[in-house]
Amino acid sequence: PSLSPDLNPIENLWGILARKVYAGGKQFRTKEQLKTTIIKSWEEITIEQLRALVESMPERIFEVIKLNGAKTKY
C-alpha cells in the first residue's frame, strides 16, 4: 500500500530517535530536559544511519510487493 509505514523510512528514523531519547527507561521531569535530550539524540544520528535507511528502500519495496502489502520486517 502506498501509505504503508514500511515504505516510509522516516518512521524508522523516529524509532531510532525515540530509542535514543528513552534509552535505559529514562524519564524526564521537565519539558526542557526532554527537549534537550531530543536535540542531543537527534545530533547523534549519523549520516551512515540515514544513508542505510534510504538505501533500504529497494528491499522495502520488494518486501511489500512480495507480501502483498502485509507487514514486513521493517
Per-residue pLDDT of 11-44, as tens digits, reads 889 999 999 999 999 999 999 999 999 999 999 9
Host domain of residue 35? 5-67
Residue 41 lies inside a defined structural domain of this protein: yes
| Lookup result for grid cell 531530543 | 38
pTM comes to 0.77
- The domain total for the chain is 1
- DSSP annotation of 5: G
| Residue 12, domain member (yes or no) | yes
73 assigned to some structural domain: no
Q: With respect to residue 35, please indicate whether it lies within any of the assigned structural domains.
A: yes
| Segment 40-71, tens digit of pLDDT | 999 999 999 999 999 988 988 888 888 887 77
CA 72 to chain centre: 14
Residue 13 placed within a domain:
yes
Phi, psi of 66 (to 5 degrees): -60, -35
Decide if 36 contacts 45 (C-beta within 8 A): no
